Structure 1
Amino acid sequence: MTSTPPSSTIADKPTTTINIKNAIPLVLDLDQKSLAPFDEWIRLDSIVKSWIYSTLSQSLLHMILKKKNTASGVWNDLEKLFRDNKDSKSIQLDNEIRNITIGDSSITDYCTHIKSLADLLENLDILVPKKNLVAYTINGLSPKFHYITTTIRHRSPLTTFMKTCSMLLVKEQHMLQDQQNHVSFCRSDNAFFTN
């Protein structure tokens, strides 16, 4: 019994490109004597708009959706939304990363949040220096991490962000293990005295 291999699609081939001419067979040419019919332009514009719409969240889609808008109009509206807020957003993100604290978060969640803020800033063309990333990380920790933050501060050269997160994860795991051992010891101690 021979099995036929499953048919492959574009989604199966991440390096495959989509030939836009399959969806939009029109080739613009200034030397061409007649332009495409208006109905064809409308159809092609609708295809491009649907591609753009399919990449937006529902809330963003509702924000920019309007009747009789062209693909170019949709693109320009999106550009205004994202570029006009660039400076304001970068100031807000910079303030957030500088003042971040661990609170009740785990080290994994805390470091992931810091990394995502740094990535968002980088997307806005604001590079967070690697030393600052480490400083923001250890400055926002609770006092229970005092000894490990002192160790990290006095490393020369200063550790990387990933190494800092790794050291903090190990410390957090040790603290959790110590806490579990203490609870187990207290339970066994209580059991001894009640018998």
Structure 2
Amino acid sequence: MTGNDNEVANSPYTLQPTDNPGVSLVTCLLTQDNYSTWRRAMRNALLAKSKLGFVDGSLPRPTTSSTNEAAWIKGNSMVISWIFNSLHPSLHSSVAFFDTAGELWKDLEERFSQGNAPRVHQLKIEIVNTQQQDQTMSVYYTKLKGLWDEYGSYCQLPNCSCGAIKEYAAEREKKKVHQFLMGLNEKFNVVRSQILNTEPLPSLARVYGLVSQEERQQQLTTSKGNNLLEGASFASKRNTNTFNSRQLSGNRDVSKLFCDHCKRWRHTKDKCFELHGYPDWWENNRKGKGKSANSSRTSEVERVDYSPISGLSKEQYNQLMSLLSLENSKGIDSMANFAGLSHEEADWHG
């Protein structure tokens, strides 16, 4: 592309094939409350199209004898259409009869642009009062950054070639960090303290990244905690149901139940230990009863060297004690067997 071609392409009178009256240059439509944002976005779009001169007065209408008059009329009409398409439908009727883009632009500025001092004061109040509350970190930061950017448009940094301007910009950055941290919820107190104790204080972008990382970690921990609570609730409900079922089976009359497999009473085939396996407590109970029985059987009567009963010899007395001990052991075994049977049957049925 030659120099002449570049000049033609960058000329405010040039319309590209993609330029048409139905295009909307910005995505944010102008309403009653967003003029500063809309104005900045629209200025950037017109600059990209080399058409800003039509609205800021730097490109007046040529005289009727000029060869550029027709091109100016076409460009002016195109800019009017672009501005019209970027307005909220409720504003269309109030701007439909402007003849030049400059007049339309000036009318919108007079209607919606607030004075610098009142708006700056309002922005400062909003920045100080902005809190995270129930917003996500992304929503909270985006809202706060929008206020900072608009406030910055009213407070431009002075042109300076010395190092003081860098220090001034760094102080503004620190002020934003503190404002951002002040609005965080209490659940970020730990990460906030860590950031404030860091020297030097991290940049705003770095601080946002650290807090966002903490937010994701807390969300993960909360999710795990909810899963544990759900599991505990399910286990508690299952244990309650099991306890209730055992109570019902314990109160049930099992005297008429009969097992077709082992031919025993007080249980059925579907609960027979011989088919389904013996529980751990079964062998322990059997060993305990066996040990008690063996100790009863193996206990020997202490023999004496004389008979304490008059008329009985030593041998007769010892024989009598042996007979009495034998009878006692039989009675104890019978009682133990009866008690063991009742216990086993109770355990058999849960």
- TM-score by length of structure 2 reads 0.42
With 85-94 and 130-139 compared, the bigger mean Cα shift is at 85-94
What's the counterpart of residue 131 of structure 2? Answer: 101
What's the counterpart of residue 133 of structure 1? Answer: 176
1:20 correspondence with 2:12: yes
Alignment partners' CA distance in 2, 1:86 and 1:116: 17
With 51-60 and 155-164 compared, the bigger mean Cα shift is at 51-60
Task: Select the structure of larger CA radius of gyration.
Answer: 2
For residues 77-116 of structure 1, the aligned pairs below 5 Å read 77-81=107-111, 84-116=114-146
Indicate the RMSD between aligned Cα atoms, in angstroms.
3.3
What's the counterpart of residue 214 of structure 2? Answer: 171
TM-superposed CA distance for 1:83, in Å, is 5.2
Alignment partners' CA distance in 2, 1:58 and 1:41: 31
TM-superposed CA distance for 1:18, in Å, is 4.8
Alignment partners' CA distance in 1, 2:156 and 2:191: 29
Alignment partners' CA distance in 2, 1:17 and 1:113: 38
Q: Secondary structure at the match of 1:105?
A: coil
For residues 32-71 of structure 1, the aligned pairs below 5 Å read 35=65, 44-45=72-73, 47-55=75-83, 56-58=86-88, 61-62=91-92, 65=95, 67=97, 69-71=99-101
Closer/same/farther in 2, CA of residues 93 and 184 from structure 1, 3 Å limit: same
- Unpaired runs of at least 5, structure 1: 1-15
Q: Is the 8 A contact 1:64 1:74 kept in 2?
A: no
What's the counterpart of residue 153 of structure 1? Answer: 196
What's the counterpart of residue 10 of structure 1? Answer: none
- What percentage of residue pairs aligned between the two structures are identical? 19
Closer/same/farther in 2, CA of residues 111 and 17 from structure 1, 3 Å limit: farther
TM-superposed CA distance for 1:42, in Å, is 8.7
What's the counterpart of residue 194 of structure 1? Answer: 237
| 2:82 partner amino acid | S
Alignment partners' CA distance in 1, 2:174 and 2:231: 46
- Unpaired runs of at least 5, structure 2: 1-7, 16-60, 158-168, 239-350
What's the counterpart of residue 118 of structure 1? Answer: 148
Q: Is the 8 A contact 2:80 2:100 kept in 1?
A: no
TM-superposed CA distance for 1:73, in Å, is 1.9
How many residues end up aligned between the 2 structures? Answer: 171
